[in-house]
């Protein structure tokens, strides 16, 4: 009953003209970010944080969340029309979506993607309303050892699932955690590894790092690549025909289920749910040979999974304070900038904020659908923007964004340095998500480990005698063992 009351008050606030306008602006900017090649949701959201400085915390979070799920949809447009995923989660959509565009069915592909995203987003948000409060209640009983084990589990998942080499992913996680050690010790309050540089006392600016790793490096890589041709597909028929509807309905619901379930697991990333949704559809299909040739289920399922995942990933974030992806980590940074700490206490301390934000996910998903179906032609036109202007514009926004965070040129230098580092890492195929999650979770994981050991007077068995903690540690070990086994035969083949 409490939940319903909170949700109703949340809707009352979210439907106010100001918050609706923020959600609308966020959806528009998010879709723009998703559409523009060379700018993913993580960098885009980070870059636009300064736009929310003047807003109240609730308005700022509503707008940035809308940018996040807007960008998750926007990536589809480039996947379908130019075979370039606007963001990583849309990689799978390229396979059949681009084939559909080549066959003159690009409009239908984008239409079903918008509808699937809407269904996925709405269903996941309804589930969020039902699942989040009891989960937050349960998490209130977590002590530092459980939080340590949970964060370790999340980092192991990221390391186990990212990239081709688990060793490399683990190294990236450790690198992220090490970078997080720079600055003030979170337990004792003394500066560490700051090299007597005052700017480093506050640590390395997380948002500036994300802008560099995902924004600048992406533009540098794009500068190398040859310019791609846009498919001038017929975009008049957005709605699928009867047969296409029949094929899509099941795919949309199955994709939603997969996206939601996987969104609950911290650290799994956005690619896995879309990939799984695609594979499931192909396996279930009586005509699997159509996949890769423009099968509409190949667009409907991953796109529904993508948005269901994006909304479900808010559950571990809001209730446990664990970001599942670099973009959610950026949102976490935005929460912190606004003086709000995501986690189980959020539902108790700021129910007004959290329920208004959740209600805004509903309004945002409606706005997104309304924005995307009629405006898809306009978005498609943006793909014809000259590359040079696009690059300069993105880099310019990165500079303004990085500087505005603390009115410090130091953050601009951090962004440039991590842009070059990100460029090199991408070339070396070193995954960036583990580094980013390590960097944002570093202080919290260190704090929970050290407080746990203070509680037990240095006895490590504290992690083994608490059942929940032990369960999560076993799960973390199982993830790493599973990943090692999965990669081992490949390693032997290649050796």
Q: Which residues bind another protein (CB under 8 A)?
A: 50-51, 53-54, 165, 167-168, 170-171, 174-175, 177-178, 181, 185, 187-188, 190, 192-193, 216, 219-220, 223-225, 386, 388-389, 391-393, 395-396, 399-400, 403-404, 407, 409, 412-413, 416, 419-420, 423-424, 427-430, 446, 449-450, 453-454, 457-458, 491, 494-495
Residue 457 C-beta: closest distance to another protein, Å: 7
Of the two residues 83 and 448, which places its CB atom closer to another protein in the complex?
448
Question: CA-to-CA distance for 316 and 264, rounded, in angstroms?
Answer: 6
CB proximity list for 89: less than 8 A, separation 6 or greater: 72, 75, 270, 271, 273, 274, 306, 309, 310
* Burial class for 453, CB neighbours closer than 10 Å (0-12, 13-18, 19+): middle
Quote the least distance from Cβ 91 to another protein, whole Å. Answer: 20
Nearer to another protein, 52 or 327 (CB): 52
d(CA 26, CA 325): 19
Structure tokens at 487: 């990669």
Cβ proximity to another protein, 1 vs 428, nearer residue: 428
Residue 52, token pair as written in the block: 């929310």
Torsion angles phi and psi, residue 195, rounded to 5: 50, 30
Nearest to another protein of 290, 450 (CB atom): 450
Q: Is 466 left (phi over 0), alpha (psi -120 to 50) or beta?
A: beta
Residue 358 near residue 19 (C-beta atoms within 8 A):
no
- Minimum gap (Å) between residue 286 Cβ and another protein: 40
| CB closer to another protein, 336 vs 453 | 453
User: Which CB, 188 or 283, lies closer to another protein?
Assistant: 188
Q: Which is nearer to another protein, 118 or 418 (CB)?
A: 418
Q: How far is the CB of 198 from another protein (least distance, A)?
A: 16
Rounded to a whole number of angstroms, the minimum distance from the CB of residue 487 to another protein is 10
- As measured in angstroms, the least distance from the Cβ of 377 to another protein is 25
- Judged by DSSP in three states, 191 sits in strand
Least distance between another protein and beta carbon 297 (Å): 35
Please state, in angstroms and rounded to a whole number, the distance separating the CA atoms of residues 135 and 132. 5
């Amino acid at each position: 009953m409490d939940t319903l009351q909170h949700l109703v008050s949340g809707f009352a606030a979210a439907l106010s003209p100001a918050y609706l306008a923020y959600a609308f602006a966020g959806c528009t900017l998010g879709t723009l970010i998703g559409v523009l090649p060379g700018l993913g949701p993580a960098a885009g959201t980070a870059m636009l944080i300064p736009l929310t400085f003047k807003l109240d915390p609730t308005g700022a979070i509503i707008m940035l969340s809308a940018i996040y799920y807007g960008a998750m949809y926007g990536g589809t447009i480039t996947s379908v029309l130019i075979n370039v995923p606007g963001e990583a989660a849309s990689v799978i959509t390229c396979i059949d979506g681009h084939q559909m565009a080549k066959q003159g069915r690009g409009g239908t592909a984008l239409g079903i993607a918008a509808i699937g995203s809407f269904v996925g987003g709405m269903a996941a948000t309804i589930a969020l309303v039902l699942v989040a409060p009891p989960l937050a209640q349960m998490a209130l009983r977590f002590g530092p050892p459980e939080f340590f084990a949970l964060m370790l589990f999340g980092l192991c998942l990221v390391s186990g699932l990212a990239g081709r080499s688990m060793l490399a992913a683990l190294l990236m996680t450790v690198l992220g955690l090490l970078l997080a050690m720079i600055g003030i010790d979170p337990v004792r309050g003394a500066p560490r590894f700051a090299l007597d540089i005052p700017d480093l006392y506050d640590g390395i600016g997380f948002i500036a790092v994300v802008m560099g790793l995902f924004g600048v490096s992406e533009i540098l890589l794009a500068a190398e690549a040859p310019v791609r041709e846009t498919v001038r597909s017929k975009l008049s028929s957005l709605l699928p025909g009867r047969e296409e509807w029949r094929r899509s309905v099941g795919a949309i619901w199955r994709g939603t289920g997969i996206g939601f379930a996987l969104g609950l697991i911290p650290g799994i990333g956005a690619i896995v749910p879309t990939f799984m949704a695609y594979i499931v559809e192909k396996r279930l299909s009586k005509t699997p040979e159509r996949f890769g040739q423009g099968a509409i289920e190949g667009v409907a399922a991953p796109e529904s999974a993508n948005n269901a995942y994006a909304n479900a990933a808010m559950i571990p974030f809001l209730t446990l304070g664990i970001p599942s992806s670099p973009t959610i980590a950026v949102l976490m940074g935005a929460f912190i900038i606004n003086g709000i700490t995501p986690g189980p206490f959020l539902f108790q301390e700021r129910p007004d904020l959290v329920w208004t934000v959740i209600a805004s996910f509903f309004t945002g998903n409606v706005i997104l659908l309304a924005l995307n179906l009629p405006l898809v032609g306009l978005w498609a036109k943006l793909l014809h923007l000259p590359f040079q202007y696009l690059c300069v514009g993105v880099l310019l926004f990165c500079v303004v964004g990085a500087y505005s965070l603390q009115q410090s040129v130091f953050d601009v230098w951090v962004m440039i340095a991590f842009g070059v580092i990100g460029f090199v890492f991408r070339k070396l195929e070193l995954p960036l998500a583990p580094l980013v999650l390590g960097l944002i979770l570093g202080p919290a994981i260190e704090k929970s480990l050290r407080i746990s050991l203070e509680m037990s007077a240095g006895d490590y068995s504290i992690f083994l005698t608490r059942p929940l903690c032990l369960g999560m540690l076993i799960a973390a070990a199982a993830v790493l063992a599973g990943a090692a086994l999965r990669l081992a035969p490949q390693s032997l083949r290649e050796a």
